[in-house]
């Protein structure tokens, strides 16, 4: 999902422009009145008057390089969210996942992220070519804290860099080289509130239609015969097995 947002009384009201599902969820629509322009916060100064001053450690924790803790966090992370932005301001966040340590630390200020086969929308890559600003959120299963890294990125097909990113003897077509500008650890509150790693919070995937079913509903329409849909779902699973790398 990509779009813009307005800040209103401490809550972000998104204005959706595009919605492409990696892991879609059924989000109930909350009845509400039209957005009251009088309560929209327009300046950072107005925003900060609503909150206590930033804690000194929260300001000082931001580093301009990857220290030993950041490097180990990256080496443990099998999952990262990549935030990019197009020249016209359209924001996008895309997930990337692989075995732990798939994001390589080239030095204290440089990361290398392989680009594995996907749906070829190329949102992240095309955004970075047009606008090199990038934000990364690293997650480690079982860790409630996360690692955030901001910087600038380039897309490369340098064979010397790609050679160290092979999985099952398959190289990525390209990789993302990140020049690190900001590095900081993020506290556990979001994960504690959500119970993300709590087994009791796991949901039954069967309670929603399959990915194929939902996308067909959103586009050409899902087939009426269940056997036809089952065949499409089976084909997708087969494609996952054959094209993961």
DSSP-derived secondary structure for 142-176: T-S-EEEEEEEEEEE--HHHHGGG-BTTB--S-EE
Same domain, 115 and 232: no
Question: How would you write the pLDDT of the chain (245 residues) with one tens digit per residue?
Answer: 666 565 555 555 555 555 544 444 556 777 878 889 999 999 999 999 999 999 999 999 999 999 999 999 999 999 999 999 998 999 999 999 999 999 999 999 999 999 999 999 999 999 999 999 999 999 999 999 999 999 999 999 999 999 999 999 999 999 999 999 999 999 999 999 999 999 999 999 999 999 999 999 999 999 999 999 999 999 999 999 999 99
Same domain, 63 and 126: yes
Residue 198 located in a structural domain: no
Same domain, 9 and 126: no
Residue 201 located in a structural domain: no
Same domain, 226 and 112: no
Inter-residue contact 232 to 223 (CB < 8 Å): yes
Number of neighbouring beta carbons within 10 Å of residue 79: 16
Question: What residue numbers bound the domain in which 221 lies?
Answer: 209-243
**Which residues partner with 186 through β-bridges?**
146
Number of domains observed in the structure of the chain: 3
Same domain, 14 and 125: no
Same domain, 224 and 176: no
- What is the rounded CA–CA span in Å between residue 174 and residue 177? 10
Residues 6+ apart with CB under 8 A from 113: 80, 82, 96, 102, 103, 104, 175, 176, 178
Residue 233 located in a structural domain: yes
Same domain, 17 and 123: no
């Amino acid at each position: 999902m990509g779009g813009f947002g307005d800040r209103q009384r401490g809550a972000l009201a998104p204005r959706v422009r595009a919605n492409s599902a990696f892991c879609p969820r059924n989000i109930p629509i909350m009845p509400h009145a039209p957005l009251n322009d009088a309560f929209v916060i327009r300046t950072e100064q107005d925003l900060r008057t609503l909150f206590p001053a930033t804690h000194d450690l929260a300001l000082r924790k931001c580093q301009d390089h990857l220290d030993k803790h950041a490097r180990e966090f990256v080496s443990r992370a099998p999952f990262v969210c990549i935030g990019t932005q197009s020249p016209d301001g359209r924001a996008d966040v895309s997930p990337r996942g692989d075995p732990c340590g798939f994001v390589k630390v080239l030095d204290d200020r440089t990361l290398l992220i392989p680009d594995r086969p996907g749906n070829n929308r190329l949102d992240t890559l095309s955004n970075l070519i047009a606008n090199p600003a990038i934000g990364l959120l690293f997650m480690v299963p079982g860790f409630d804290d996360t690692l955030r890294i901001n910087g600038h990125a380039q897309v490369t097909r340098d064979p010397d860099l790609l050679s160290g990113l092979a999985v099952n003897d398959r190289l990525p077509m390209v990789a993302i080289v990140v020049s690190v500008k900001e590095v900081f650890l993020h506290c556990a509150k979001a994960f504690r509130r959500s119970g993300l790693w709590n087994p009791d919070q796991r949901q039954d995937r069967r309670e929603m239609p399959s990915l194929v079913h939902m996308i067909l509903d959103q586009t050409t329409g899902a087939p009426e015969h269940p056997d036809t849909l089952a065949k499409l779902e089976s084909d997708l699973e087969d494609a996952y097995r054959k094209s993961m790398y």
